[in-house]
Structure 1
Amino acid sequence: MDKSSEEKIYPASLTKIMTVLVAIENIPDLKEKISLPKSIFTGLYGANASMAGFLPNEEIEAKDLLYGSMLPSGAEASIGLANFIAGSERGFVKLMNEKAQQLGMEDTHFKNATGLHHPDHYTSVKDISILLQYALTNSTFRDVYTAERYSISPTNLHPAGITFTSLMFKK
């Protein structure tokens, strides 16, 4: 079972497991509103990143960004959380790498909060296992991670909210 478990892999959207975990551990009030500035969208559209469907200048509860980051793998939700917590994605990535080190994830290094490919953004199957085992002990994380569907609260730009369906449960 341990064959190649420490081999370097590129985590892609599995990155969002760490993003959501670090966000949960750093936001005391998940009802806090977070604004998504227009500036975060340009690079994501150019990189063809997966998006949750939030819009520039939308104000969203932190909890809804957690679900937007995890279920549809929304890069704009991940960067919105990162900017809110650490002031920048770079600052947030520092927290992600500190958490990885704290958990004993020896074969992991993050370069972004979204999972977009970068040669220095890598992990291993063993480290993803360590991360997931730890993350699932957090009840908020577990609720987000195991949700099949989730509807966000109304926002300034989506008065009816948005409903997400988990990519994990798609056939």
Structure 2
Amino acid sequence: MGLFGKNKMTESEVARAFVVGLMESVQQHWPDISRDLKAVSDLASLDDPEASFEFFIAVMATQLQGLQNFLKADQANRIEQHLIRCISAPGLDSYPKDTIQEYRRAWDRTASNGRDPIDGITSLLCDKLGYGSEGGHDNTTILMIVLTQYIVTFCYFKNMIQEYKLVS
């Protein structure tokens, strides 16, 4: 703790710490997540490293939905831009940014229909993992519940914002 309150952390440091912490956590938990998803689905794609990255982006998009509740809009937007830069790489082009926006639209669409917005995230994630939520699979609801259980357990921003004073 700083001499007069919380320790300071820049917005870019918060973004980097969030990305690293979330990625490490997803990597650590992916074998369990994958095992649980395989128990209720026939998703062969879960063994593909891209599946854990897609899950990572879905969790990040979910976390970004709450960021506006904890910070002023301009600061939340700057942190989001830092996050997108952190997860961007030459071979990915605009995929991270576009995919976060796609998850955001799924969240908003589901919420506007009076449903739990996390359902929009998990439904889109099912589609991206090759298990279409509209495909009539018997276990789609169970798969979505399992995904939701894991997605909502990550809450880094709230903890960081409570622990640090964020500066530009």
Name the TM-score, length of structure 2 as normaliser.
Answer: 0.29
Task: Report 1 or 2 for greater relative contact order, CA contacts < 8 Å, sequence distance ≥ 6.
Answer: 2
Question: Bigger radius of gyration, 1 or 2?
Answer: 2
More helix by share: 2
Normalising by structure 1, we get a TM-score of 0.28
